[in-house]
Homo-oligomer: A and B are copies of this chain.
Amino acid sequence: MSTRFFNLVEDGMQEVEQLMRLQVDAHHPDLHTVVEHLVSSGGKRVRPAVTLLTGRMFGADPQRLITLAASIEMLHTATLVHDDLIDGSLLRRGIPTVNAQWSPAASVLAGDYIFARAAKMAAQTDSVEVMQSFAEALATIVDGEITQMFTSRGISSRDNYYQRIYAKTASMFVLATKSAALISSCNEGIVETMRKFGYEIGMAFQIVDDILDFTGEQEAVGKPVASDLRQGLVTLPAIYYQEANPDDEDMKAVLNGEFADEARMERLVKAIRGSGAIQDAFVEARGYVERSLEFLGQMSESVEREALFELGNYIIDRQV
């Protein structure tokens, strides 16, 4: 990452990654390889970066902050391992998933293991409130996955969508910003403002992710274009498209469960990409970013606050 946002926490991020690697005992060589692989393949590291910047903005103890950031990234990683298993995904960011390399049984345990380590690190922050937030975020994420599995397919509903992306993504950003404020002994008002900041920026992040699922090239995203819609999950661009074109036959068919008709799907994805739906979704993501910056603007000036301001631009402008 070349933005100042990431540069400012590069040193801390190295410590976070080192701590993540340290969580895997050497006497599990197979697991060690898998976690090493997960840590190295990296991803965007937005969650620990937000955690580090928020904590530093408020003068958090550096070691507790590193532990918290590692805990949050490990929790995120654990949910990805189980997600890939549940979806049967073989690639993530173009790299083979744990699921593709191991048996389902081993993937369950790998996720559980990473999750257990995340919980241990959360406990090491020595804050009851952080651990409560951690448990809350985990419950929200899993609830969302269960709702998605049982009731979300084929539903074109904003309410359903917002609940889904809150559970999937914004809840973890809330955990990051709220916990970082909590270990910095901020007063309740600041903790609450930073919680709101995390919520808005997290919602924006997922909306842009969902836009990129339509606009991105398969090679860059590491999965087929419109991968959600192909599984019957209707994200914001498709919702805007459906609202603007309520009689579109392809969309109707997909909402009725016909995800497998490839010709139909390609036609629909092309129509969505060519419609104003993408732009509408971007406008909505910008709205979330703008609200997030209003909350952030209530904090005192600092270099970390400026870096968090930049996060908004990064989220809107990123290509992957």
Contacts and interface: CB of A to CB of B under 8 A. Distances in A.
Contacts of A86: 105, 108-109
A85 B112 contact: no
Q: Top 4 closest A-B pairs, CB basis?
A: A119-B135, A116-B139, A86-B105, A123-B132
Contact of A120 (B116, B124, B135, B150): B135
Interface residues of A, number: 44
A291 to B, nearest CB: 28
A143 interface: yes
Contact of A147 (B28, B120, B132, B146): B28
Contact of A146 (B109, B115, B124): B109
Interface string A125-164: 0111001101110110111011101100000000000000
A76 interface: no
Contacts of A132: 120, 123-124
Contacts of A120: 132, 135-136, 138-139
Q: Interface SS of chain A: helix, strand, loop or mixed?
A: helix
A131 B135 CA distance: 10
A116 B138 CA distance: 6
21 contacts: A28-B143, A28-B146, A82-B112, A85-B104, A85-B105, A87-B105, A108-B108, A110-B146, A112-B142, A113-B143, A113-B146, A116-B143, A120-B138, A120-B139, A122-B131, A123-B134, A123-B135, A123-B136, A126-B128, A127-B128, A131-B131
Contacts of A142: 109, 112-113, 115-116
A217 interface: no
Nearest to A117: B139
A145 B109 contact: yes
